[in-house]
Structures are given as structure tokens and as C-alpha cells.
Chain A
Amino acid sequence: MTTTSEITVDDVTARYDPVIGLETHVELGTMSKMFCGCPTEFGAEPNTQTCPVCLGLPGALPVVNVKAIEYTIRIGLALNATIATWCRFARKNYFYPDMPKDFQISQYDEPLCTDGYLDVMVDSEQFRVEIERVHLEEDTGKSLHVGGATGRIQGADHSLVDYNRAGIPLVEIVTKPIAGTGSLAPVVARAYVTELRELLRGLDVSDVRMEQGSMRCDVNTSLAPKGAAAWGTRTETKNVNSLRSVERAVRSEMIRQSQVLDEGGRIVQETRHFHEDTSSTTSGRSKEEATDYRYFPEPDLVPVAPDPAWVEELRAALPDSPSVKRGRRQAELGLSDDEMSWLVNTGALQLFAETVAAGASAADARKWWLGDLARRANAEDVELAELAITPAQVAGLARLVADGKVNDRLARQVLDGVLAGEGEPEAVVASRGLAVVSDTGALDSAVDNAIADNPEVVAKIRSGKVAAVGVLLGSVMKATRGQADAASVKAMIAQRLGVEL
């Protein structure tokens, strides 16, 4: 594997124009599966949510789940797409054990929704991502390959298949090629998936949990020499299953492709696998090895012809778009455009709002999420949402500071404790002994000692060099192991020395 650390996206876009495209699979949150009545709940014992239909037993037939059609149409409408008045399902034929029928019921040349768009904001700039199609299909089962080093089928001792997921309704949302984003390409990709996730969440059609696989992305990337008329050969990166990974997959492919092109090589049209641990991609299946899916209209199902009046009812009942909702929320939370855009694109808006709802001021929520917590997430290379702290705990921490129970410095130690799993902020304060020293007797003597021990400093302060007060302050803090409130200590020193500080 080539090391790519020394090249940046800006280096790449100095010489090449990237074009990206995204295919997003979303499991719909219907009660029952796409073509049978089996439940769809995540995490059940393997193969307990199956029946002859989703197991593809001989003779079984599919029946369309109307709720899934409704959800897909609502997604299409929210993405400003055209809803087909007549369309069909198609069979996508290929052999794989996690596909019970050895074909997948999908849609081919007649998707339910076409030609939409979704606007996303990056660095206060709006990008319109055009949507090619939204179609409906059934999910496959899940394979578990046991015994190999890679967890892939090659080299495994044996494989297990769980068909609970087989037949869960899956919507595929495909963008048109996104050009003209330059070095923002990775961020635009992430912003698009983030915005799409918000939109789907707002429609209440999926729980959109990337970590559980209910939302999954394939990312297409190509490079062309700057200013070239034709686009370059694209690769399709699979298995991109977090917002951060979307951004990284695009970045890593841009850098890898630029190196190949720089060395005079050619990009092979292929699928590539994204590896979360290394943030890099490895070669998968090339176009030459690609399966001929032998699509043909699914003869077991009748065409879908949504009543236009019904579609209009669904359109009228759509919730406000995420951007409208965000505008309202931004005003409520008192956030700037940049802060808002940052929170949205890091997926932290919900955390932020919940923190405010838990009693923190917007200023405090901003201070913690955009400050300390953002730095820590960055340092640990995780999403804000992945930090081991809840919005309620952040609000609790803010409350401790506001009540004067801890100072900012102690608050950071409380944060350490919460993140280390030591419990609620109050419990961390107690267990670590971090409460501000408010015993005036102890504080009085610490201040007195500091003044008595540092006559030269006292002289400097009295002669007007007030900055020297820091030395006394430090001394008091040292004596109280940092648990004194700095403002109170300063006031006590000023009073004793008879100066304005």
C-alpha cells in the first residue's frame, strides 16, 4: 500500500478536477418486510424473523408492502423528484448464499422516483446535489464468515447466514455525478450524506443508523486533468459506513488516483473496499469481472401505479425540510451561520439541541461542544456522537460551573472523569475530590501565607505591576490543589493589599 500522508487534497486539486457520486442504501423503518409479513426489528436471534417468502422457499411469492411504497414516494417528494405514474420491479440475478432466491427484487430501468435534488451548505457556500433516482428493493441476509483472517469469504472455514435482514425494504438513492466541488469534494460528500440523513430522519422513514447498517454508502470518485472536457475513470468505494468515512473515502481515493495518474498510470474501473482502520481503500472487483445481472421485469409482481391524488396527499403532508427546521432552530439556539453549519456537518446539532433542552444555556452548549469536546473528538479521531458523554451530562457539567461548584479548570477534569466512564458529573466531583474550596478558613490562611511568603511580589503589585498577582494566585492554587475559585482569590488579595486588581 502506498503511503499517502504527504499529499493533501489541495495538492490533488491543483492538478485535477474531481467528480464524485454517491449511492446511499437506506433500510426503511416499516413494521414488516418488503414482500412478506415478517418483523424488521434489529438485533433479534438469527433466523427468527423469517417465513417461506423471505427465505425464498420453493413456491413462495412476494407481495408488495404498500407502506414501503409510501415511504419511498415521500423520500422522492422530499428530494424534489418526479414520482413515476407506472413502474415495475425487476429481478437482479446473481448467486450468493445470503440472497435466498439467488436474485434480488429491485428496480432497474423504471425507478419509482427520478430527477430530484438536495441542497447542502459547506463553508457558507451552497451546493446543489442532483438526484438521479430513488428506487426500492429488498435487502439481503447477512453472512458471517468464520475462521479466516479477513472476515471475508475467501479463506474462511465456514460461513453462517442470518436471513432476518433478508427482505427488509431498502431504498437506494443515487446522485448524478457531482462536479465542480474542487478540494471541497470530500466535505461536500459528507455534507450531502449528513443532510440526507437529516431529511430521512425528519420524514421518519428510517432510523438511519450507519453503525447498524440501516444507512450505507457507496462512493464513486474520479479525477480528470484540470480543465479537461471528459471525466476520468471512476472507482466505486463500498463499505463506507460513517459520515467521517464518507469524507475520508473520497479524500483517500482522490489522493490514490492522483498518485496513479502522476506516475503515468491508468485508473481501473473497479469496486474498492474502504477500511475504517487505515482510512484507505483496496481493490475489489474489476469491471471485467462484473456480474451480468440479467435484469428482467419481476413476473411475480404487478406494476406499481401510484394514484396521483394519493401522491399529492403525501406531498401536502410532508414535514418542513431540514433547512427550514434548521433556520428555526438556529434562531432558537442563537448560533451563527458558521457554527450552525459546523454542527450540522459534524452531525452534532441534535446533541447540541438536547444539551440546551437538558437545561444548559446555548452559550454553554456552544462552549463545550464546539470547544473542548470538539478538540477531544478530533484528537481521538471519532465523531462527537461517539464520545462517551450524553447531552444531559454536558448540561450537568455546565450547571456545576454556573453554580460555582467547580471552576473551568476543574470542569475539564470532571469531563475527563465522565469520558472515562466514572459516572455523572456530580459523582466525578465527589470521587475525584474536585469541589471548589469554599472553606473560608482554609482559603484565608492560604492567601495570608502567599502574601507572607512573597514580599517582593507584593512590593511589585503595590508599585503598580498588577500582573504580578499571578504569582500569588498560583501559590494559592497550589496550596488548595487548584480547587479555589480564581475570581474569589483575586478579590481577597486585592482587599488585603488595598489595591485595584
Chain B
Amino acid sequence: MTASSSLTSGTAVEIAALIAAGEVSAVEVTQAHLDRIASDDGALHAFLRVDTDGALASAKAVDDQRAAGESLGPLAGVPLALKDVVVTRGLETTSGSKILVGWIPPYDATITARIKAAGIVILGKTNMDEFAMGSSTENSGFGPSHNPWDLDRIPGGSSGGSSAAVAGGLAPLGIGTDTGGSIRQPAAVTGLVGHKPTYGGVSRYGLIAFSSSLDQAGPFGRTVLDTALLHETIAGHDLSDSTSIPAPVPPVVAAARAGASGDLTGLRVGVVRELGGHGFADGYEPGVLTSVGEAVEVMAGLGAEIVEVSCPHFGYALAAYYLIAPSEASSNLARFDAVRYGLRVGDDGVRGLDEVMALTRQAGFGPEVKRRIMIGTYALSSGYYEAYYGQAQKVRTLISRDFAAAFGAADVLVSPSTPTVAFPLGARTDNPLAMYAADLCTLPASLAGTPAISVPSGLSDGLPVGLQIMAPALADDRCYRVAAAVESALDARRGHPLLHEIPIR
């Protein structure tokens, strides 16, 4: 292992410690990652654009701070891969869509600003399913990303560029957004830790909206602790987002550290029957269920009490989600109308406004985005609203009640993060419903606005499997504590972190 490769395979905590101790400069760390991107991203296609100058400048600023004797934050100088749905001042932001090509935002998202303020180095913007609609990055307007465990397979989605980058050694940290599972599912299929915070826990200001009532940004890391540190950096109340919760950030870093000791005595773990349990295993790969089952046994071995819980309305989550999310999306995406920014097609001085709008949207949006705009437009139409959007909101309430009841019987709920391991590229592109099924396990927590983490449970046929741990709203720290315990026990049993088994690194 060369010096450079140790920099790109280490954890964020390790890299930050090297920088803080002056053993390596932030510029060197950043350059090592830029080199790695130059050599490997041709195969992974994790990044849509790399901000070489900006990254080196940020890194130099950290080095200057250190030289001036200023204190550094816990992640200062650590590089990060930022999903292209997050707005970056002065750096093109497309949300994976051709319709936004060339748009240079005049402002930073709140989380972008917090990342920069923490001295974290943004390497560039990562690939994603267009407007975060998808589970594989195959809906990107710019071609798919590839899974570092097997380049012929998907890295998950929609935040697949970030998961590919972090798993593939291009960045130790990544930011994703999760509307129906878009952090947890890519984390699961690439062997990473990924957390969807409580809705309102992380500001949405500057996230290009897909479904406003569901979207949450969250962290990817190679370890639970790295993930918690990034969570703490981006979370917290923001006056620019009305739906941001005016409450202290849950103590996620402390929980990740405490959980690493491995003791889960007294913890009640609820295995959700409707998510791959008895009578509900259809569509779940046996290898996935086995791996998750082993992780649950490990939890029992750490002192947890395992119970089975039933959440009878979880079965309706997919149907409700595919009414609510497209409805909100149909409205959120209306602004891409060729008038103020982005693509403009057919503006020849002869065609009228409506025609230019239509031609632009026809050329700029991909098929999945168009499908969801149409579904959403229909669902909100006069005369159909109650039957579709209205009913879906009722299901949402019922799912929240299922959670409330289940959290009466258990402190955390567990399930697979996604029913299968990474599927081959192209395997589901012709079948939207099969693609949607990738989110079966993650949708309930999205609809309820509750936090959930995916942590690696092991491999199935040489590919990573994720365990999902769900907690009540604002108890994100509980997710981290339990995930850290599972991580440390499994790493100890295995003798090394799962990610060390990735073939191409």
C-alpha cells in the first residue's frame, strides 16, 4: 500500500488526525484524492464534475489555519463527495438533469455552507438519478455510475455517485439525499454506512427539491463514527427552512463512540415482520435475509432483546409514496420552464412561449422524470385529488401510527435496507415497478419522517448487504449507537472492516 493509497483508503477520523498532527497536509490529502479520481473515475463515473481548483484552495485554507495555530474542526481537511442535488455557489449544479446544464448557482445550500465552514474539502459534484428519482443512477441525464464491488452492477440510487465515490476510494465522506431510500439503499449495496436523518433534522435550503415533504440530506461514511461526525456537521436548526426542527442536534457522535463498546444490554430490537419476515419474504433474496438474520443474532449476543413487531400498513407504503412524491415533484419541477435558467430549446423568435416551454421540457427531462410529472399531475387533478393524494396522506398517517405502536414494543426496529444485493446495470431499466421495489424497506421511515441508518451486515455472493436500523423521530443517536455496536462486533468477528474486501481497491 503506497502512502497515497493509505490516504485514500483511511477513515475520515484517521485522515483528520494525520492533518491535525501535521503528518500530512490537507493539500496532500486532497491531491491524493484528485489523483485517485483521475485514475479510477473513468470506470466508476461517480463524479459529474470535479472542482480541482476549489478543492485545493479549500485544502490550502485548512493548512493555513493550522499553520496560524487556529483550532481545526474534527473533519477539517477531509475530502467529501457532494451529490449534485445540493446547490454550490459558483459551481455548476444540475441535479443529474440535462435541463439544468450550465446553471451556476449564485448561492450555497445551508449544508454546503456548513461543510465549507467545517473545513471539509468538496472534491466535486456526484452523479445521481435525475432529480433524485431512481434507485440505480441509471436515470441520470449523464450516464450511470458503477459499483466499485462489481463494475457491471449498480451503486444504488439516487445518491449512487456519492456511494460509488466513498466505497471506491475517491472520497472518505459523501453527502446524499434520501426521499424514499436514496441514501440507505446505495449505502447498503456498496458496503457503506448511510443515514437518513429525522425529517427536519437537516436543512433542505439549497437542496433541489424532489418531494418537499420527504427529502432529507444525510451522510455517507466508511464507518459509523465518520458518518456521525458528518451528520453533526450538517445538522441543526436553520431559519431558512421552515420545516427545519428548532431542537438540539441529537448526540450522534457521542452515541457512535458509546456504541462501539458493543454493549446492547436492555435494548429491545423489533424485527419488522412485513419487511422480509415470515410470510413477507417474497422478492427478498435469501442471502440478504440470511446476512441480516446473522446481524440480528449478533445484536442478541450483545445483550439486546429481540422481538418481532408487525406494522400492517407498511405494505401500502410503496403505493402511497408513488402518489405523494410524484405529486410534489410535478409542482416542484414546474419551474424548469426555459425562462430564467438552464436549457432553452426552440427559441427561434417565431415559436411562442408555450411551445418553447414544452420543447425544452421534452428535451431536458428524462423518461422517469416525465413519468412522475404525469403521475403527479394526474393525482392532483380536480376530481382525483381525494382519491389519490388525499388517500395517500391517510396511508401516511397510518404508517406513522404503526411506527408509534412498534416503538412501544421496541427501542429500534430492524430490517434489510433493500431486498437484494446490487443488481446488474440494465436489469430493471425496462421495469419501473421492479426498480421501485428496491425502496420497499426504506419507504416507511421516509413517509413517517423518522430516522434510519444502513450499516453493513456482511456479504451475499460477494456483494454487500445492509441492515436498516430505524428509531423514533429525533432519536437519530439511537440509530448510531446500535449501528456502531453491530459494526464493531462484525468487524471483530471478521477481523477487518467489510470494505477491505472490496475487489478493486
Q: Is A62 an interface residue (CB 8 A)?
A: yes
Enumerate chain B residues within 8 angstroms of A101, measured Cβ to Cβ. Answer: 334-335
The reply to whether A294 and B380 contact each other, CB–CB distance below 8 Å, is: yes
The reply to whether A300 and B242 contact each other, CB–CB distance below 8 Å, is: yes
Q: With A63-B240, A296-B389 as known contacts, state yes or no: A57 contacts B331, CB within 8 Å.
A: no
The reply to whether B242 and A299 contact each other, CB–CB distance below 8 Å, is: no
Enumerate chain A residues within 8 angstroms of B382, measured Cβ to Cβ. Answer: 292, 294
> Looking at the complex, which of B103-111, B271-279, B410-418 is the stretch in contact with chain A?
B103-111
Q: Is B310 an interface residue (CB 8 A)?
A: no
Instruction: Give Cα A91 to B385, complex, Å.
Output: 13
Chain B residue nearest to A101 (CB atoms) is B335
Q: What 0/1 pattern do residues 50 to 89 of A give for CB contact below 8 A with B? A: 0010011111111110000000000000000000000000
The reply to whether B206 and A59 contact each other, CB–CB distance below 8 Å, is: yes
Chain A residue nearest to B112 (CB atoms) is A59
Enumerate chain B residues within 8 angstroms of A159, measured Cβ to Cβ. Answer: 353
> Looking at the complex, which of A92-100, A215-223, A268-276 is the stretch in contact with chain B?
A92-100
Chain B residue nearest to A159 (CB atoms) is B353
Q: Is A301 an interface residue (CB 8 A)?
A: yes
List residues 90-124 of chain A with CB under 8 A from any CB of chain B: 91, 93, 95, 97, 100-103
Enumerate chain A residues within 8 angstroms of B381, measured Cβ to Cβ. Answer: 292, 294
The reply to whether A61 and B380 contact each other, CB–CB distance below 8 Å, is: no
The reply to whether A64 and B377 contact each other, CB–CB distance below 8 Å, is: no
Enumerate chain B residues within 8 angstroms of A64, measured Cβ to Cβ. Answer: 242
Q: With A58-B105, A300-B243 as known contacts, state yes or no: A97 contacts B204, CB within 8 Å.
A: no
Enumerate chain A residues within 8 angstroms of B206, measured Cβ to Cβ. Answer: 59-60
Q: What 0/1 pattern do residues 386 to 406 of B give for CB contact below 8 A with A? A: 000100000000000000000
List residues 94-109 of chain B with CB under 8 A from any CB of chain A: 95, 100, 103, 105-107, 109
Instruction: Give Cα A299 to B240, complex, Å.
Output: 14
Q: Is A353 an interface residue (CB 8 A)?
A: no
Q: What 0/1 pattern do residues 358 to 375 of B give for CB contact below 8 A with A? A: 000000000000000000
> Looking at the complex, which of B72-80, B249-257, B337-345, B485-493 is the stretch in contact with chain A?
B337-345
CB distance from A439 to the nearest CB of B (A): 73
The reply to whether A296 and B385 contact each other, CB–CB distance below 8 Å, is: yes
Instruction: Give Cα A58 to B241, complex, Å.
Output: 14
Chain B residue nearest to A292 (CB atoms) is B382
Q: With A59-B105, A294-B380 as known contacts, state yes or no: A299 contacts B334, CB within 8 Å.
A: no
The reply to whether B212 and A58 contact each other, CB–CB distance below 8 Å, is: no
The reply to whether A57 and B205 contact each other, CB–CB distance below 8 Å, is: no
The reply to whether B331 and A294 contact each other, CB–CB distance below 8 Å, is: yes
The reply to whether B334 and A93 contact each other, CB–CB distance below 8 Å, is: yes
The reply to whether B242 and A58 contact each other, CB–CB distance below 8 Å, is: no
Q: With A299-B328, A302-B243 as known contacts, state yes or no: A102 contacts B107, CB within 8 Å.
A: no
Enumerate chain B residues within 8 angstroms of A348, measured Cβ to Cβ. Answer: none
Enumerate chain B residues within 8 angstroms of A59, measured Cβ to Cβ. Answer: 86-87, 93, 105, 109, 205-209
The reply to whether B334 and A103 contact each other, CB–CB distance below 8 Å, is: yes
Chain A residue nearest to B357 (CB atoms) is A95
Chain B residue nearest to A290 (CB atoms) is B382
Instruction: Give Cα A95 to B330, complex, Å.
Output: 12
The reply to whether B331 and A63 contact each other, CB–CB distance below 8 Å, is: no
Q: Is A153 an interface residue (CB 8 A)?
A: yes
Q: What 0/1 pattern do residues 32 to 60 of A give for CB contact below 8 A with B? A: 00000000000000000000100111111
Enumerate chain A residues within 8 angstroms of B340, measured Cβ to Cβ. Answer: 55-56, 100
Enumerate chain A residues within 8 angstroms of B198, measured Cβ to Cβ. Answer: none
Q: Is B213 an interface residue (CB 8 A)?
A: yes
The reply to whether B204 and A58 contact each other, CB–CB distance below 8 Å, is: no
Select B242's contact among A60, A95, A301, beta carbons within 8 Å: A301
Instruction: Give Cα A97 to B339, complex, Å.
Output: 7
Chain A residue nearest to B87 (CB atoms) is A59
Looking at A61, A95, A103, A295, which has the most chain B CB atoms within 10 Å of its CB? A61
Instruction: Give Cα A124 to B353, complex, Å.
Output: 52
Q: Is B281 an interface residue (CB 8 A)?
A: no
Q: With A63-B239, A93-B380 as known contacts, state yes or no: A57 contacts B385, CB within 8 Å.
A: no
The reply to whether A299 and B105 contact each other, CB–CB distance below 8 Å, is: no
Select A61's contact among B204, B339, B353, beta carbons within 8 Å: B204
List residues 283-305 of chain A with CB under 8 A from any CB of chain B: 292, 294-296, 299-302
Chain A interfacial positions (CB closer than 8 Å to B): 52, 55-64, 91, 93, 95, 97, 100-103, 153, 159, 161, 292, 294-296, 299-302
Q: Could you pull out 10 A-B pairs where Cβ atoms are within 8 angstroms? A: A52-B107, A59-B87, A59-B209, A60-B206, A62-B242, A102-B335, A296-B380, A296-B385, A301-B242, A302-B242
With A103-B334, A294-B382, A299-B212 given, name 13 new contacts (CB 8 A): A58-B93, A58-B100, A58-B335, A58-B341, A59-B105, A63-B241, A102-B335, A292-B382, A294-B377, A296-B331, A299-B328, A300-B242, A301-B242
